[in-house]
Amino acid sequence: DAGVTQSPTHLIKTRGQQVTLRCSPKSGHDTVSWYQQALGQGPQFIFQYYEEEERQRGNFPDRFSGHQFPNYSSELNVNALLLGDSALYLCASSGRLRQASHEQYFGPGTRLTVT
């Protein structure tokens, strides 16, 4: 049973550039959430996708956008990169949005470095 997968593993970008990160959820899961984790901190919620729509959003600017595809995979796009966007970006998947347990399972993350 494949778990949550993310690509790429590492990425180096220059300030002002744009980046796209990808996530495939765990088999049987249809809800995908994205998190940003700075070094030494806990994950910060960016947004959540369910049925190809953004359902919830954390306190992140519009430079952060996403998409969910019919096969439940998801992309995170970040425009006009800033040095402060350097972090580990985590994707988490879970079962149906209204499911009581709603346990999230995380992928290995994408380490983004902005220079």
Q: Does 48 bind other proteins (CB under 8 A)?
A: yes
Among 51, 52, 54, 103, binds other proteins (CB under 8 A): 103
Among 25, 43, 66, 95, binds other proteins (CB under 8 A): 43
**Which token pair is 43?**
């994950």
Nearer Cβ to other proteins (71/101): 101
- Cα first-last separation, the chain: 37
Stretch that binds other proteins, among 11-19, 60-68, 79-87, 100-108 (CB under 8 A): 100-108
Q: How big is the chain by its Cα radius of gyration, in Å?
A: 13
Q: Does 44 bind other proteins (CB under 8 A)?
A: yes
CA dihedral over 39, 42, 44, 45, signed as positive or negative? positive
Quick one: DSSP state of residue 31? E
**Which token pair is 12?**
């180096």
Nearer Cβ to other proteins (18/27): 27
